[in-house]
Amino acid sequence: MADAPVLTMVTPAYNQGRYLAETIDSVLAQDVPLEYQVIDDGSKDETPDVMARYAGRIQGERQANMGQVRTLNKGWGRANGKYLAYLSSDDVLYPGALRKLVDRLEADPSLACVFPDCDLIDDRSKVIKRNVCRPFDLAQLVVEQECYIGPGAVFRRDAFEAVGGWRPELRLAPDREFWMRLATRGRIEFVPETLAGYRFHPQSLSYKEVSEEQSREYLLVLDGYFARPDVPPAIRAREDEAYGHAHLLLARNRFRSGDWRRGRQLYAEAVQLHPPLAATRYKLRLLRNVASKPARAAAAKLRSVFRG
């Protein structure tokens, strides 16, 4: 009789068939009893053919497109494992990753989630940059909207069931909002060992214009968080600062869309909420963020052309 799954892994797959086999192989090579759901979310590329090669080794399913959030919730909702995880269809786990992460959770019941360090890898799995993750800091997540949880995060199913899944109405920050809630069920710990690869390629860099209405999701996430009765006092004391940083994100997205007038207005609102945001370093960060994705996408495309 096969061992009962210790962990349930879910991979939502959408038009990344080029990388999917490497992703699947990296999960199947792990040395913990697991069930692995690979859900094709309406792909129009070779994804179904890739999945067919793993029949009997994965729980494969094809569905009409419903988006990453609903797909993950669907997979986790029928999980049998004590622990839950997900892996994007272009990322990879390194050998022994899940064993080390599960062992850490088993050793410390106070932990709700653990996540490893990871490499940044290119479209040919070459390492671009090492050690890209950082320790989890709830205040940094809530106040500055900064989160460094990469591929390979594993969390307890009972904690997931207690706080609920990812919110399907969120498009920009469903993961960040989930980590905020999960942190109420236990500690989220960084394991400082490189156990995964986060893929960085031209397709992942494509920038989709985001409306101001969509960007206000950052404010809605904060509204929900600060409405909770269990917000740590040190974070509640920084509520205006948190909304200031959220307005900074709204300003960034308007600048990226070419709406410079509205972007300046939103930046002024950010500074009004938290005056230190007027510092030059924040202005420079805005400039870098506005220009970075198109520039990096072009650089990645040039690298692929010259290698080709």
Give me the domains of the chain, ranges plus CATH numbers. 7-205 (3.90.550.10), 212-303 (no CATH)
Give the separation between CA 292 and CA 285, rounded to whole angstroms. 10
Q: What is the mean pLDDT of each run of 10 residues along the chain (308 residues)?
A: 83 97 99 98 98 97 97 98 98 98 98 98 95 96 95 98 97 96 98 97 66 94 97 98 97 90 96 96 85 56 46
Whole-prediction pTM = 0.90
**CB contact at 8 A, 157 and 164:** no
Over residues 201-226, the pLDDT tens digits come to 776 654 567 899 999 999 999 999 99
